[in-house]
Amino acid sequence: MSGQDLVIIGGGPGGYVAAIKAAQLGLSTTLIEQDKLGGVCMNRGCIPTKALVSTVEILQNIQRAKEFGIMVQDYSIDFPGIMKRKDMIARRLSSGVEQLLKLNEVKIIKGEGQISEPGIVEVVDAERNKEVLKTKNIIIATGSKILPLPVPGIDNEGVINSDEALSLNELPSRILIVGGGVVGIEFACIFQALGVKTTIVEMLPRILLPVDAEIVSRLTQLLKRRGIEIWINSKVKEIKKKGYLLEVVISTPEKEERLESEKVLLAAGRIPDPGKINITQLGLELEGKAIKVDERMKTNIPGIYAVGDVVGKIMLAHVASREGIVAVENIAGKDSFMDYRVVPNCVFSLPEVASVGLTEEEARRQDNHIKVSKFPYLANGKALGMGETEGMVKIVAQAETNVLLGIHILGAHASDLIAEATLALSMKATANELVHSIHAHPTLAETIAEAAEGIVGRPLHIFRG
């Protein structure tokens, strides 16, 4: 039995970042991971899908090349090559994480972590060999798992989850995606761009429900214009085998519909997954299915912390990483806490969506005295030059003080532009301060400055009487 300052169970973006930070702060640290380092995000989520998004962006540029004065005579899609590149990127990043951990002298154990009691972690490897670790502190970072859907027929061949969608050997002719959240929308954009007839079925009144309604409305129009069929307020009742196809029975507000598809992708979300940790035996307090923590990521049991999707706060990789840092800093004696008020959210759709802070609807519910300003990509020189004129920046601010409440972006590179907005909101900046910051020209970032001009007065490059 060996002694440690810290043992972390789970090597995803919460666990491995916590391990590196702990080592930097001088804590002897062991990281336990039963699968690939980097977790779902790096191996079966964020990184692989973004690699595919980059591929289809190039494909769309080829298809539009004539607009830019370039004639492309012939091209073809090498789907196995596309998937090979995606796998290579994920492997390279996972290998990089392993090297970082080793360079920081973090001990890595391949296996399944279990907590027999506070301060004692048992690790069982693939050959069922057991190792017992004694530690002062434990961080649970076991992540999440795909939400199971109680739908008859989900065991039929051709019904796949997001992991399996990233392992396809060939493109289907048609795909129906159950769920209009971030995962569903991103996969819809990828498959449609690759020539697959794509349908989304969402049980809620609109796709991407947490996103600003006006932004979602515009994105929905763009997706439909590109040929993606979207059913809202619709629930999948059953999936039946019909020859080589699948028949999906859905209930809509009007009637029951039967849709045919070669593949059905289940993308209805994820739920916290504590793995093999015996929650009841330990006496860990829960919030629903998530492990309950305070703002310092402490559970109700001294010496045990939890971070990432398993705590069920905001299931994003960058949130998990920050939670891991907060937990470690508190273990190291610092007074650190988690603030969820300013978290950027990105959807890698085509075009992208990114937001931070309050939506217009949320702001109006909290305070009727707000200002809203919008600036279109169409009036931005860089966007015109790029041929990326679909989009807008929307700013929500307090009416009396011009303090920024929320910034929402639809358009090319929205996921990069949101960094400025996140910094501004975290500093409680005003629209005036954005305006007074000189933005380089010509850049897409000028759209943010122009939208801010609309809060303090009027934008310069569109006319408002």
Q: Which residues are catalytic?
A: 441
Task: Give the angle 324-327-331 at the CA atoms, nearest 5°.
Answer: 135
Cis peptide before 459 (omega within 30 of 0): no
Whole-angstrom CA distances from 423 to 95, 301, 343, 396, 451 are: 31, 34, 10, 15, 16
Residue with tokens 């761009």: 193
Query: 164 Cβ partners below 8 Å, 6+ apart?
Result: none
Cβ-count burial of 432 within 10 angstroms (0-12 exposed, 13-18 middle, 19+ buried)?
Answer: middle
Rounded Cα distance between 65 and 134, Å, is 61
Q: Which two tokens stand for residue 445?
A: 């970032």
CA distance 133 to 122: 6
| Residue with tokens 């789907």, as numbered in its chain | 79
- State how far the Cα of 313 lies from the Cα of 304, in Å rounded to an integer: 17
Phi-psi bin for 258: left (phi > 0), alpha (psi -120 to 50), beta?
beta
Helix, strand, coil percentages for the chain (3-state, nearest 5): 35, 25, 40
Q: What is the CA radius of gyration of the chain?
A: 24
Helix axes 414-426, 446-456, angle to 10 degrees: 50
Give the span between the Cα atoms of 31 and 108, in whole angstroms: 5
